[in-house]
Amino acid sequence: MYPSREEASNSAKQEKGKEKVEEDDEKKELTIEELEAKIYKDKTLLRKMKEERNQRDNTTSSLEQRKRKTMARAQERVLR
């Protein structure tokens, strides 16, 4: 006799679940060296991104300081 639709659906879901578990196991099988290399690469990328952000912030703050200085000088001239 043929399985009912529910039984077929449940068995299909179980098969998919097994495949996912097997795929997860394959993904988790990184060697220590590969993982250390990935961590190193990510750390260097993070460091580089932080440096770029700091340079951008410094540039912005120096521009703001120049603007404030110019405004202060202009105000002093007006007051004289």
74 located within any domain: yes
17 located within any domain: no
25 located within any domain: no
Distance CA 43, CA 58 (A): 22
Instruction: Kindly indicate the confidence band of residue 19, based on its pLDDT and cuts at 50, 70 and 90.
Output: low
Counting the structural domains of the chain, the total is 1
38 located within any domain: yes
41 located within any domain: yes
Domain with 60, as residue range(s), is 31-80
pLDDT in tens, 24-78: 666 678 899 999 999 999 999 999 999 999 888 777 778 888 889 999 999 999 9
11 located within any domain: no
78 located within any domain: yes
* CA-to-CA dists, residue 69 to 59, 61, 65, angstroms: 15, 12, 6
